A and B are shown apart, each in its own frame.
Chain A
Amino acid sequence: MSGDWPLWEVFVRAKGGLSHRHVGSVHAPDAELALRHARDTYTRRLEGVSLWVVPSAEIVASDPDEAGELFEPAESKIYRHPTFYDIPDEVKHI
């Protein structure tokens, strides 16, 4: 049965203020039931306060064959990391 159903990617917001994070996927016949399947599968142990489901077919993914040109150029640019100055203790959330 679930083999006939489209796949949905599930995102959970663990608590207010945090971003939704990808946690997995579910099969479901439509969006409303996908939300309920996501609730039953991924928030049984109080994992979240908000859910998103997205049709997996709608996700546009980068091509692993292009990983070289997409990601490697960033490796040699350590100056992009904000690690060259001291952060005062009073400043939180960085």
Chain B
Amino acid sequence: MAPSLPPIRPEDEAVAEKLRPNGAFDPRDDEPLGSARKELLVRLGDDALILGQRVSEWCGHGPALEVDISLANLALDLVGQATLLLGQAGDGDRLAFHRDVLDFKNCLLVEQPNGDFAQTIARHLLYTTWQHMLLQRMTGSSDRFLVEFATKAVKEVAYHRDLASEWTVRLGDGTEESARRMADGLDWNWRFVPELFEVDEIMQAAIDEEISPDPRTFEDEYRSAIAAVLADAKLDVPAEQRAILGGRRGHHSEHLGHLLAVMQFLPRTYPDATW
């Protein structure tokens, strides 16, 4: 049931580093990220891109026509956000389609498999509640682009959070089966929550430059908000699990490679294809 997520040891990294010229489809086409601003744009852009791609996998497979359309709308919002963020960080298409797993900076939560509808909703609730709280505060960023971005995206994300909360309550407080599935979905994704509040050197620099809010300042609010939704859903807050970190440094679960294989297939097979 649990995903195989072995800890990545320094020697594994060394091997991956050595293999890069042979294993990667393209050389790293981007200069090292460098500034905290650019790194932040790529992290948030990758979050939106990968979650958007994941949610889009539901297209045509939703449990009901109306839900299928809802999910497609959510995916489109996220891909739109990714376009803005990665476009601001550099060449958005190259960043999306010409990087390999180790260069992606999304958090591990967003790359988790869809599972069933409840697991998808659990992931969406956990990510977009965080994203909403972050963007609300980012409207006060010292960076003009991020202010404009956050002002626009915060409305989209408010709806994502609302819809995910509504569904969490419907499923949690629904039938025995839906409650079990919702609890399982939360359980799967819960161990990836601490990464959302991790502040490494780059994040600290972004906070010091007042580009980004400090996520730690809203961790309590986040946990209470999630607990409130789960209480409405008559579900228990999942037991604390060993936190899994590393996405921001490019250490991903095995799921991301499969996602990229699908997402990047066309531009890699037909370089410079246009329509």
Interface residues of A (CB under 8 A from B): 1-2, 5, 26-30, 32-33, 36-37, 40-41, 44
Contacts and interface: CB of A to CB of B under 8 A. Distances in A.
B170 A40 contact: no
A1 B170 CA distance: 14
15 contacts: A1-B67, A2-B63, A2-B64, A5-B64, A27-B64, A29-B170, A33-B170, A36-B162, A36-B163, A37-B66, A37-B67, A37-B69, A40-B69, A40-B73, A41-B66
Interface string B26-67: 000000000000000000000000000000000000011111
A27 B65 contact: yes
B70 interface: yes
A5 B65 CA distance: 12
B63 A41 contact: no
Given A32-B166, A36-B166, A26 B73 contact: no
A40 B70 contact: yes
Contact of A41 (B69, B166, B167): B69
A26 B70 CA distance: 12
Contacts of A29: 170
Nearest to B162: A36
Interface residues of B, number: 13
A1 B162 CA distance: 21
Nearest to A32: B166
Given A2-B64, A5-B64, A27-B64, A37 B166 contact: no
B235 to A, nearest CB: 18
A3 to B, nearest CB: 8
A1 B167 CA distance: 14
Nearest to B169: A32
Nearest to B64: A2
Most chain A C-beta atoms within 10 Å of own C-beta, residue among B64, B162, B167, B170 = B64
B70 A36 contact: yes
A33 B166 contact: yes
A25 to B, nearest CB: 10
A44 B166 contact: no
Contacts of A44: 69, 73
A40 B66 contact: yes
Contacts of B167: 33
Which 5 A-B pairs give the minimum distances between C-beta atoms?
A2-B64, A37-B66, A40-B70, A1-B63, A1-B64
Interface in B95-117: none
